[in-house]
Amino acid sequence: MKTRYTRFAAISIIGIIIDQITKTAIDSSMQLFDSIPVVESFFHITYVRNKGAAFSFLSHASWRLPFFITVSIIAALVILIAFRKLRDDQKIAHTSLSMIFSGAVGNLIDRVRLGEVIDFLDVHWYRHHWPAFNVADSLICVGVFLLAIDMMLEEKRLKKV
């Protein structure tokens, strides 16, 4: 039982640290909107800031900051509650919730500290760009993907019982 809490803490802390270190490195070494090609016509490191959520959702709403901070705190608490309800054998779910939690907290830190989120991973195909994102966003997406896998495996487990 304690092993899963140790794993949760380790993944969460490492994820938050990596997220914050990368954002700090970008903020201190680049000017806003600077772009460094890594793989031409496919991937750049591009420094942008996002006041909204995914795809700049609600970026111009006057109430966006308190809303996103509140939603992030509620999401983190829900994740902690959900994690406590997992069985010890649900290791994929443990990992996925740890990743989602660290991503939510990483972006929450930016919102509280800066009022917006630092994004810098710019994936594109020539001039067709996916919105820039960061390590926290990646942790959330991979965590949700792993959680979906765990849910499908859990469904199969329940059918066998």
Place of tokens 């960061």: 134
C-alpha to C-alpha distance for 150 and 146, rounded to whole angstroms: 6
The single-letter DSSP state of residue 54 is G
Q: In whole angstroms, how far apart are CA 51 and each of 18, 41, 70, 117, 149?
A: 21, 26, 15, 6, 31
Q: Specify whether the backbone of 55 is left (phi greater than 0), alpha (psi in -120 to 50) or beta.
A: left
Catalytic residues: 119, 137
The amino acid that residue 52 corresponds to is: G
Determine contact, residues 101/76, Cβ cutoff 8 Å: yes
